[in-house]
């Protein structure tokens, strides 16, 4: 083997590096464009979406996560993923479904006693005040198991799940009223309201659809099921819903398909669902006066079914709160215009998109002008009496969102794979752009509020096909970003979304979101209150009763207290951990061997877990977040002793390995470290650091660490006084650990001040 001359290699590689650097330095934009085959259009698109390192996005998108049961959060225009919020499905990174606090949230979503650990999420809705986003809450539905979840945007966590008491599936949710008094959730597949068997032969008589209005208590940040109600509807498959705005604010609109009430039966030689459910030329738009419906419930005019207030069809007709209007075949989408004057509905099997006039609907109602009644006695307003206009947009129109310009609408064309920009006042197409492929929903910034901001449009496509590197038969979804700020729409970016099939998304101006960076100390984030298990530093304890062990512990860089937990086989064990950190982004995790335990402890949070220690053995645990240089040492042991265990003779005591010399050396090192810390502190305090909140927070954190250092120093000195050099040296080492953390934080603060060009004050 030829021996390498290392010096020569080093020189050559250094030379090589120099050459490469020279090439890099020389490469111009033109060179890059040639090398990567980019056009000027590509460069423009890149410039419109690129967010430089350290800079932030202008809009934040909350996308449904489809079957994953999560919500996906990303930024616009960069399309960078920011978070998956666990909603209906356990998610270990967030500890969701692993700590007792979040298990309790998931358990609220049990259906007839059965745990459901996924959701088919379709429509996220942001809370509104006066018809505009306020950045406080997010709601999302589960189509498969009719449920609505409440996500608090103060910390981006799921706080509540409610199960629809009368439906067995739902689709037309979540959409909110102008001031988020109610969240609507309409049924999809009609079923009996009661939880019992009813043969399909009784479909017309016993199966029902409907619209549920969930009451939201803003002060509590929770849905109040007792104050919620359902307006019963015929067994037409209710589909999407929307609340009115401005003049139509007291009303809601829900479209439907399969008003044929076809029940299939290909097994009996009958035509399939898809044929029977699209036989008629029209279906029905349901128009509901929800404000009046809520008053009827208060007046005691609702019927209790499954302990839930239901306004029957009969009552709804008698009280004049429910009307039907024909809509073009197999409609999808019902979207109220920003001014609240029109409702836009598209027919999937019709090229027309219909614009209904709220004013005309009201005129027909007050004049009692109906073209007839449906089989359930609900008055039908003639389509011609309610229509403002119709527009021929293209094939397979689905969903509509609105732009910032007057009468500007965007409608997805599923079959054509296009987006049409059009004028809903005039019913006139303005522009079209090709989508890849088969677009479902689309979304513009604040596009479902009273004040759409326009700017960007995201096409939520059903198929990706060949747009990305292949990853097997299951493809990611494709969210395409489109610039709508100019007269011609232009495609900017394709983002693969590898988590479920998102249906709808909402985009909010990032300035409106003000999430917290840490919890109040000892916080139960799911219940949104101080945890009864909140534990302060030095107050950690283990409470033992026969057969039961309860531990109140803490985590902080870089140790878990307690470090050793001893229990007996069969013990019922509960461990509560509080993260004592106050620093931003100092999350600790907790994983324990073989018990399916995985916690996420963000600063301030208290989480719990419970299990039966049914198998004797040794169970190591550790912190799962790389939280400091001594993260790997953030560990401990759970020891489960067999019942009736006979203590073996103790091993000979630990042998001391450290001497006075070790102690003195460590102290010397610590003094030198302190000098560095003092210099950093001097730099910071001689500048206007108080004007930088993140530096103030860092200083608080550093002060904490220095206080811990002082405690360790006291212990070291005390041991040294007793000439216990072993413990003196170890405590001196711990003192140094805290100093290092403080120094690290201080240097971060110093670098930040330098970058920000802080001013010298002293």
The residues that touch ligand CUK, with contacts defined as CB under 6 A, are 122-123, 171, 240, 332, 398-399, 440-441, 503-504
**Based on CB atoms, which residue is closest to ligand CUK, 148 or 730?**
148
Separation between Cα atoms, residue 186 and residue 148, nearest integer Å:
11
Closest separation in Å from C-beta 587 to ligand CUA: 8
Q: Which does 504 bind (CB under 5 to 8 A by kind): ligand CUA, ligand CUK, none?
A: ligand CUK
CA distances from 366 to 211, 247, 312, 360, 362 (A): 23, 16, 22, 10, 6
- From the list ligand CUK, ligand CUA, none, pick the one residue 348 interacts with, judged by a Cβ distance below 5 to 8 Å according to partner type: none
Give the shortest CB-457-to-ligand CUA separation in angstroms: 42
Tell me if 256 sits within 8 A of 239, measured CB to CB. Answer: yes
Shortest distance, position 189 Cβ to ligand CUK, whole Å: 13
Q: What, of ligand CUK, ligand CUA, none, does residue 588 touch, CB below 5 to 8 Å by kind?
A: ligand CUA
103 vs 99: CA distance, rounded Å: 6
Q: Least Å distance between CB 241 and ligand CUK? A: 10
Which residues bind to ligand CUA, rule: CB under 6 A? 588, 623, 625-627, 631, 634
159 vs 741 by CB, closer to ligand CUA: 741
Residue spans of beta strands (DSSP E) within 602-707: 606-613, 617-622, 635-641
Q: Residue 114 burial (CB < 10 Å; 0-12/13-18/19+)?
A: exposed
Specify the residue, 503 or 582, whose C-beta has the smaller distance to ligand CUK. Answer: 503
* Residue 332 interacts with which of ligand CUA, ligand CUK, none, CB < 5 to 8 Å by class: ligand CUK
Phi, psi of 136 (to 5 degrees): -95, -45
C-alpha closest to that of 432 among 360, 484, 379: 484
Choose between 325 and 460: whose C-beta lies nearer to ligand CUK.
460
C-beta of 178 vs 602, nearer to ligand CUA:
602
Q: Which is nearer to ligand CUA, 291 or 631 (CB)?
A: 631
SS3 label, residue 761: coil
Dihedral of CA 484/490/492/498: which sign? positive
698 CB-near residues (< 8 Å, 6+ apart): 583, 745, 746, 748, 749, 752
| Shortest separation between residue 123's beta carbon and ligand CUK, angstroms | 6
Could you tell me the strand order of the sheet in which 597-601 lies? Answer: 564-568, 635-641, 617-622, 588-592, 597-601
Query: What would you report as the CA-atom Rg of the chain, rounded to the nearest whole angstrom?
Result: 32
Q: Give 74 or 504: the residue with its C-beta nearer to ligand CUK.
A: 504
Could you say which of ligand CUA, ligand CUK, none residue 625 binds, taking C-beta under 5 to 8 angstroms by partner kind?
ligand CUA
Compute the least distance from the CB of residue 603 to ligand CUA, in Å: 11
CB atoms within 10 A of CB 730: 20
The least distance separating ligand CUK from the CB of residue 104, rounded to whole angstroms, comes to 28
What is the C-alpha to C-alpha distance for residues 220 and 679, in angstroms, rounded to an integer? 48
Q: Which residue is nearest to ligand CUK (CB)?
A: 440
Cα 610 to Cα 103: distance, rounded to the nearest angstrom: 11
Identify which of residues 67 and 89 has a Cβ nearer to ligand CUK in the complex: 67
The interface partner of residue 240, options being ligand CUA, ligand CUK, none and the CB cut-off 5 to 8 Å by kind, is: ligand CUK
Identify which of residues 63 and 554 has a Cβ nearer to ligand CUK in the complex. 63
How far is residue 89's CA from residue 69's CA, in Å, rounded to a whole number? 5
Cβ closer to ligand CUA: 631 or 641? 631
Residue 171 CB, shortest distance to ligand CUK, in Å, is 6
Partner whose binding site includes residue 171, from ligand CUA, ligand CUK, none (CB under 5 to 8 Å by kind): ligand CUK
If the CB atoms of residues 448 and 483 are measured against ligand CUK, the closer one turns out to be 448
CB 493 within 8 A of CB 49: yes
**Nearest distance from residue 95's CB to ligand CUA, in Å?**
14
Please, which residues bridge with residue 81 across strands?
Answer: 74
- The answer to whether 187 and 146 are in contact (CB under 8 A) is yes
Residue 138: which residues within 8 A CB-CB, separation 6 or more?
62, 71, 124, 125, 126, 127, 150, 151, 153, 506
Closest separation between CB of residue 641 and ligand CUA, Å? 27
Q: Which does 440 bind (CB under 5 to 8 A by kind): ligand CUA, ligand CUK, none?
A: ligand CUK
188 versus 598: smaller Cβ distance to ligand CUK: 188
Residue 627 binding partner per list ligand CUA, ligand CUK, none, with a CB distance cut-off of 5 to 8 Å that depends on partner kind: ligand CUA
Torsion, Cα of 109, 112, 115, 118 (10° steps): -60
List, as one string, the DSSP characters of 601-626. Answer: E-TTBEEEEEEEE-S-EEEEEE--S-
Min. distance of Cβ 77 from ligand CUA in angstroms? 35
The β-bridge relationship of strands 617-622 and 635-641 is: antiparallel
Q: How far is the CB of 204 from ligand CUK (least distance, A)?
A: 26
10 Å Cβ neighbour count for 219?
A: 5
Q: Of ligand CUK, ligand CUA, none, which one sits near residue 388, judging by CB under 5 to 8 A according to partner kind? A: none
Residue 48 binds which entry of ligand CUK, ligand CUA, none, CB below 5-8 Å type-dependent: none
Residue 623's binding partner out of ligand CUK, ligand CUA, none, with CB under 5 to 8 Å set by partner kind = ligand CUA
122 binds, among ligand CUK, ligand CUA, none (CB under 5 to 8 A by kind): ligand CUK
Look at residue 503 and give the partner it binds from ligand CUK, ligand CUA, none, a contact being a CB closer than 5 to 8 Å depending on partner kind.
Answer: ligand CUK
Shortest Å, Cβ 121 to ligand CUK: 9
- The residue among 71 and 627 lying less far from ligand CUA, judged by its C-beta, is 627
**Closer CB to ligand CUA, residue 58 or residue 701?**
701
Inter-residue contact 528 to 75 (CB < 8 Å): no
Q: Least Å distance between CB 324 and ligand CUK?
A: 21
Q: What pairing do the DSSP bridges indicate for beta strands 635-641 and 564-568?
A: parallel
The torsion defined by the Cα of 324, 327, 330 and 336, in degrees rounded to 10, comes to -90
Nearest CB to ligand CUK, comparing residues 230 and 330: 330
Q: How far is the CB of 281 from ligand CUK (least distance, A)?
A: 21
Which tokens in the block code for residue 222?
């929770």
> How far separated are the first and last CA of the chain, in Å rounded?
65
Tell me the closest approach of the beta carbon of residue 625 to ligand CUA, in angstroms.
5
Q: Which of 421, 588 has the CB closer to ligand CUA?
A: 588
> Which of ligand CUK, ligand CUA, none interacts with 631 (beta carbon under 5 to 8 A by kind)?
ligand CUA
Number of C-beta neighbours around residue 230 at 10 A: 31
Q: Which is nearer to ligand CUA, 623 or 720 (CB)?
A: 623
Residue 559 interaction partner, one of ligand CUA, ligand CUK, none, beta carbon < 5-8 Å per kind: none
From the CB of 547, what's the least distance to ligand CUA, in Å?
Answer: 31
Q: Residue 18: phi, psi to the nearest 5? A: -60, -45
Residue 433 contact, options ligand CUK, ligand CUA, none, Cβ 5-8 Å cut-off depending on partner type:
none
Residues 6+ apart with CB under 8 A from 347: 327, 328, 329, 330, 331, 332, 353, 354, 397
Task: Report the alpha-carbon distance of residue 390 to residue 476 in Å, rounded.
Answer: 35
């Amino acid at each position: 083997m030829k021996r390498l001359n290392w010096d020569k290699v080093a020189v050559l590689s250094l030379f090589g590096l120099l050459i490469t650097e020279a090439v890099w330095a020389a490469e111009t934009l033109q060179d890059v464009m040639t090398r990567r085959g980019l056009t000027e259009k590509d460069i423009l698109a890149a410039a419109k979406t690129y967010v430089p390192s350290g800079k932030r996005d202008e809009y934040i998108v909350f996308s449904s996560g489809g079957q994953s049961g999560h919500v996906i959060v990303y930024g616009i225009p960069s399309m960078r993923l920011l978070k998956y919020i666990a909603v209906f499905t356990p998610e270990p990174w967030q500890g969701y479904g692993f700590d007792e606090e979040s298990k309790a949230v998931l358990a609220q979503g049990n259906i007839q006693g059965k745990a459901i650990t996924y959701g088919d999420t379709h429509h996220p809705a942001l809370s509104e005040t006066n018809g505009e986003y306020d950045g406080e809450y997010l709601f999302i539905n589960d189509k498969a198991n009719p449920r609505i979840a409440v996500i608090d945007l103060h910390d981006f966590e799921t706080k509540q799940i409610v199960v629809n008491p009368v439906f067995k599936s739902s689709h037309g949710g979540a959409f909110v009223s102008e001031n988020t008094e109610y969240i609507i959730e309409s049924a999809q597949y009609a079923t009996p309201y009661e939880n019992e068997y009813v043969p399909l032969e009784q479909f017309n008589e016993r199966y029902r659809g409907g619209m549920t209005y969930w009451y939201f208590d803003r002060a509590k940040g929770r849905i109040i099921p007792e104050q919620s109600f359902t307006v019963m509807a015929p067994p037409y498959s209710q589909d999407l819903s929307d609340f009115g705005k401005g003049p139509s604010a007291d009303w809601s609109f829900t479209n439907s398909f399969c008003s044929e009430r076809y029940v299939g039966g290909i097994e009996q030689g009958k035509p399939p669902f898809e044929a029977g459910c699209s036989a008629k030329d029209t279906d029905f738009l349901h128009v509901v006066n929800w404000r009046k419906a809520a008053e009827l419930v208060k007046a005691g005019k609702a019927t209790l079914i499954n302990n839930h207030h239901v306004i029957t069809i009969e009552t709804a007709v008698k009280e004049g709160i429910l009307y039907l209007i024909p809509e073009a075949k197999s409609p999808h989408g019902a979207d109220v215009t920003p001014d609240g004057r029109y409702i836009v509905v598209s027919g999937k099997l019709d090229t027309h998109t219909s614009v209904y006039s709220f004013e005309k609907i009201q005129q027909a109602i007050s004049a009692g002008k109906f073209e007839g009644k449906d089989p359930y006695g609900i008055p039908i307003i003639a389509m011609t009496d309610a229509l403002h206009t119709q527009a021929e947009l293209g094939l397979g129109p689905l969903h509509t969102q609105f732009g910032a310009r007057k009468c500007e609408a965007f409608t997805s064309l599923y079959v054509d794979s296009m987006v049409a920009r059009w004028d809903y006042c005039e019913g006139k197409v303005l522009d079209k752009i090709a989508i890849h492929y088969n677009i479902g929903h689309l979304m513009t910034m604040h596009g479902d509020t009273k004040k759409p901001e326009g700017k960007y449009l995201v096409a939520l496509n059903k198929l990706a096909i060949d747009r990305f590197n292949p990853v097997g038969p299951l493809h990611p979804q494709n969210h395409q970003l489109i610039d709508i700020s100019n007269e011609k729409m232009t495609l900017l970016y394709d983002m693969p979304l590898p988590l479920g099939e998102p249906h709808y998304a909402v985009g909010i101006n990032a300035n409106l979101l003000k999430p917290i960076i840490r919890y109040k100390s000892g916080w139960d984030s799911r219940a949104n209150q101080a945890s009864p298990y909140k534990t302060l530093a030095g107050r950690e304890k283990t409470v033992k009763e026969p057969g039961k062990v309860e531990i109140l512990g803490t985590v902080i860089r870089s140790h878990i207290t307690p470090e050793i937990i001893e229990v007996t086989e069969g013990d019922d064990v509960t461990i509560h951990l509080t993260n004592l950190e106050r620093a931003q982004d100092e999350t600790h995790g907790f994983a324990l061997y073989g018990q399916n335990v995985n916690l996420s402890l963000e600063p301030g949070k208290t989480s719990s877990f419970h299990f039966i220690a049914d198998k004797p053995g040794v169970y190591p645990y550790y912190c799962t977040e790389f939280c400091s240089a001594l993260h790997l040492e953030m560990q401990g042991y759970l020891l489960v002793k067999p019942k009736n265990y006979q203590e073996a003779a103790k091993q000979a005591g630990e042998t001391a390995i450290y001497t006075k010399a070790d102690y003195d050396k460590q102290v010397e090192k610590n003094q030198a470290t302190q000098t560095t810390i003092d210099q950093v502190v001097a730099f910071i305090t001689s500048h206007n650091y108080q004007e930088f909140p993140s530096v103030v927070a860092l200083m608080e954190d550093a002060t904490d660490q220095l206080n811990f250092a002082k405690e360790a120093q006291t212990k070291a000195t005390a041991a040294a006084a007793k000439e216990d050099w072993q413990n003196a040296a170890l405590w001196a080492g711990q003192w140094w650990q805290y100093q290092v953390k403080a120094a690290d934080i201080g240097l971060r603060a110093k670098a930040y001040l330098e970058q920000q060009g802080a001013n010298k004050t002293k």
